[in-house]
A and B are shown apart, each in its own frame.
Chain A
Amino acid sequence: MDYVININNLSKSYGNTQALKNITLQVPKGQIFGLLGPSGSGKTTMIKTLTGELKKTTGEIQVLSMAEEQLSTPNYKAKIGVLSDNSALYERLSIYDNLKLTCKLYDVSLNEIDTILEKVNLIDDKKKVVSKLSKGMKQRVMLARTLIHKPDLLFLDEPTSALDPGNVDKIHQILRELNEEGTTIFLSTHNMEEATNLCDCVGLLYKGIIQEMDHPDHLRYQHSTNQFEVETHDGELIKIENKPENSGQIEQLIASGRVKRMYTDDPTLGEVFLKVTGKDLGS
């Protein structure tokens, strides 16, 4: 299999603080991989080690078939796009001038500016000065800047944190389209909905350890108690285990006309996280 990211037994320490512990993971080409974890769990550290900004302590890293020593070369940098959790734009310059700089640094035709601004829905604002933009608009400009050279691999550190739902949806839509065109995406988030809606594979990161890793739906099913919950009109809550031999009981309940609502109790990713780590994602 063709892995874009291949990490083996990676650890990273800052002095005495061990931020990442024995991480092993593979990201195949075309996947959207999400690191889900609360503040301080090591998300930024993980991304920075992969982008070549931080040196690992032990283990092996290979990204886009390049070894760690090559991760600081212009060749590697031209192939990846990085949107970090504290990226910024030149506030006094226009959207266009900000992107023009990126085009020239990456050797991209200036015609791409209109194309990408079309994509992030900012084409009518291109002459606007960045300091006059809203937070969501700035984030979309930064995303455009990260994408304009058509990277093979995209690193996004909490790309939608502190944005309103409308802007989050816009950004998710752009990322999905991009992924359909073949870009592999590695993102971090502390938002379980983002991980559930967007990712093909989620790693639950806590205290520098990937506790579990799978497709978000699989993670949820695995931790499901595998029960139907039936709420009746008279307020009773009946739990029925999801097994073939119980189908008769369910049929009877439905036939009796007592059923108000019926649902499976698959947990959210947040609940899975809490169950696995004992820690709430939000805190």
Chain B
Amino acid sequence: MNTKRVLAIFEKDIKDFFKNTSLIIMPIVPIFLAIFYNALFDDFIPLFTIFIIIGMVFAGVTSYCIMIMMAEEKEKNTLRTLMMSPASFLDIIVGKSLVATVMTVLTLLISLLILDFYHIFNIQTILGSVLSLLFFILLGIGIGLFAKSVATASVYIMPIIFIFGFSPMFDLFGLEEGHFVNVIFDNLPVSLLMHTSEDGSWMALILITIWVVVAYLFALFSYNKNKNDD
């Protein structure tokens, strides 16, 4: 990895981010939701609503941002020019991940300020958030490389936002304890992150790490699928 090249890609992509309306709109959604919840609930804001916002940021900003950036480079063929330069694939991925990270952290911070929810963070939740960030970045890279165009990538992201982003909400569906749907959604990264906040669970942290490994394997699979022209 070459820092100078990573930063060059970061600089290019962050400029491009602010000129791309389909990307710039994504951080606005959770921020508006934070403002709305803040007005709706006077002093006590239920934990799951906060984690829905966090889930929306991870799925809608982190994954979406990196996914669109990758898919667009592929579709428009600019990726080929990048690959023909001395930059390595890792330089490209890391540069883009930095953009996704900056936008995620900014959006989370603004939502945090609005909702005033610092208290939900213990050490496990902080570590879990970093791991979740990694998970959603890898997921975004995987889909971005897997999809043939920006249009198909945008379709794939919808279930991702609903399943991975909104997973804490499924508790509300009133299914009985232990129902398999509940078990699945309870073990998705954002739900696990919520558990770390509820009871400082280390087990949840380990499960998030497993999710990171799964996302990594998926990204690797998509990368290999893409690598060869013939």
Residues of A that sit less than 8 Å from B by CB: 14, 48, 51, 53-55, 74-75, 77-78, 82, 84, 86-93, 97, 100-102, 104-107, 145
Contacts and interface: CB of A to CB of B under 8 A. Distances in A.
B152 interface: no
A51 B85 CA distance: 11
Contacts of A100: 11-12
Contact of A106 (B9, B11, B86, B88): B86
Q: Which of A53, A78, A87, A104 counts the most B-chain CB atoms under 10 A from its CB?
A: A104
Nearest to A97: B15
Interface string B1-44: 00011011101100110011000000000000000000000000
Contacts of B85: 77, 102, 105-106
Contact of A74 (B4, B9, B86, B230): B86
A14 B230 contact: yes
B4 A93 contact: no
A107 B12 CA distance: 15
A218 to B, nearest CB: 33
B184 to A, nearest CB: 40
B123 interface: no
Given A77-B84, A82-B81, A92-B16, 12 more contacts: A48-B229, A53-B80, A74-B86, A82-B84, A88-B76, A90-B78, A91-B76, A93-B19, A101-B11, A102-B85, A105-B85, A106-B86
B163 interface: no
A187 to B, nearest CB: 16
B77 A105 contact: no
Given A48-B229, A53-B229, A92-B20, A78 B86 contact: yes
Contacts of B83: 53
A107 B19 contact: no
B15 to A, nearest CB: 6
8 contacts: A14-B230, A74-B87, A84-B81, A90-B12, A90-B78, A93-B19, A104-B5, A105-B85
B20 A101 contact: no
Contacts of B78: 88-90
A105 B87 contact: yes
Chain B CB within 10 A, most for which of A75, A86, A97, A101: A101
B225 to A, nearest CB: 16
Contact of A107 (B4, B9, B11): B4
Contacts of A145: 81
Interface in B77-104: 77-78, 80-88
Nearest to A44: B229
Q: Is the interface of B mostly helix, strand, loop or mixed?
A: helix
A93 B81 CA distance: 16
Contacts of A48: 229
A89 B82 CA distance: 11
A145 B82 CA distance: 11
A90 B9 CA distance: 12
Contacts of A105: 5, 8-9, 82, 85-87
Contacts of A106: 85-86
A53 B15 contact: no
A97 B84 contact: no
Contact of B230 (A54, A86, A87, A89): A54
A19 B50 CA distance: 58
Contact of A104 (B8, B19, B77, B80): B8
Contacts of A102: 85
Contacts of B86: 74-75, 77-78, 105-107
Contacts of B229: 48, 53-54
Contacts of A89: 78
Nearest to A76: B86
Contacts of B230: 14, 54-55
B39 to A, nearest CB: 35
Contacts of A77: 84-86
Contacts of A51: 84
Contacts of A97: 12, 15
B84 A93 contact: no
Contacts of B19: 92-93
